[in-house]
Amino acid sequence: EIKAKDRGLTARYRPSMLERSQQQAAIEGDLRQAIINNELSMVYQPIVDVNTHTVVSMEALIRWKHPEKGFIPPDQFIPIAESSGIMILLGRWIINQVAIDCQFLKGTELEGVRVAINISRIQFVDDSFSDYLQSCLVEQFPKNQKLTLEVTESTLHNDAEHSVNTVKELLDENIQFALDDFGTGYSSFISLKEFHVDNVKIDRSFISRCDEVKDDETLVKAIIEMAHTMGFSVTAEGVENEAQLMKLQELKCDFIQGYFFSKPLPIEQVIKQGSWYGEKLS
Ligand code: C2E
Ligand code: MG
Ligand code: MG
Ligand code: MG
């Protein structure tokens, strides 16, 4: 009787788990093909100075147009790449593609602008990461290209010791570190100091109502003040309207990123938009 019950349970559970792992395996296989078949591309979202409304940097974000399934968001396939062992390969593709795209900035208003690349924990703790990045900077990127490496709190907490050393090896006037999605994890400002973080990016979930909800405003204000005290600059992620921008300016946030100024776009379109975004303001 118990056995029959067990069988019933497994019969109910198995299909969905199997389906999920099959789906995961399918995406993993497709992703390997995607790298070879040119289905991947990078888009760039400007990060704008809150006072001058000019571009200070731009964040590179990956896009995958699957031949049958259409666009698959990075939130879906990056975790699969990370758990399947192809993140190192994908991460290298990303760095190479960003280097190619940066060449188009030469002779434009955006020449020399800093470019931010999201670096997965998997890449960051790989022994060859810093050497690889260094060689790309020398051989592929425009000379003296300034980069920001965006990492999340989990990167700073796992394999911390090795990560710290990698960070130190990489430290160069042209390379900065930004802590992405700040507020969603557990890092203290003290721990950020030892990881040489230069910039803190406040997660969109705190920004979306900072102009309407007093508690959110108070929290954002506290993060900005504490970050400044520690010597970090602050970027607000996901700014979608002018009211949020005004509030963030009042709270002394340094940099603004979000649909209000621009969605992430292919490099040619970002170049076409130029470096001044003041006209978006009423
Ligand atoms: P993230 O690094 O925090 O990137 C910000 C995300 O917010 C991007 O989503 C961007 O398109 C979106 N966003 C920007 N402004 C707004 C706004 O005003 N409103 C809303 N609703 N969304 C906004 P995306 O491109 O889908 O990327 C999602 C996440 O996937 C990224 O979060 C990052 O964690 C990861 N990711 C994307 N590209 C890469 C990559 O090249 N390498 C790695 N390792 N991860 C990546
Ligand atoms: Mg990011
Ligand atoms: Mg983020
Ligand atoms: Mg994120």
- ipTM over the 0.90 cut-off: yes
Ranges under pLDDT 70 in the chain: 1-15, 187
183 lines ligand 1 (CB under 6 A): no
79 lines ligand 1 (CB under 6 A): no
pLDDT of residue 153: 85
Find the helix or strand (DSSP H, E) in which 63 lies: strand 55-66
**What confidence tens digit (pLDDT) does each residue in 230-239 have?**
999 999 999 9
Question: Which amino acid does the sequence have at 274?
Answer: G
115 lines ligand 1 (CB under 6 A): no
User: Quick one: how far is CA 223 from the chain centroid?
Assistant: 19
Ligand 1 centroid to 18 CA: how many Å? Answer: 29
Ligand 2 centroid to 137 CA: how many Å? Answer: 20
User: Which alpha helices (H) appear in the chain, and where do they start and end?
Assistant: 2-36, 74-84, 87-103, 121-124, 129-139, 153-157, 160-170, 189-194, 204-207, 214-230, 242-250, 267-273
118 lines ligand 1 (CB under 6 A): yes
pLDDT of residue 219: 94
Rounded distance, CA 130 to CA 170, Å? 6
pLDDT of residue 253: 98
**Are 43 and 268 spatial neighbours (Cβ–Cβ below 8 Å)?**
no
pLDDT of residue 6: 52
Report the predicted TM-score, pTM, of the whole model to 2 decimal places: 0.93
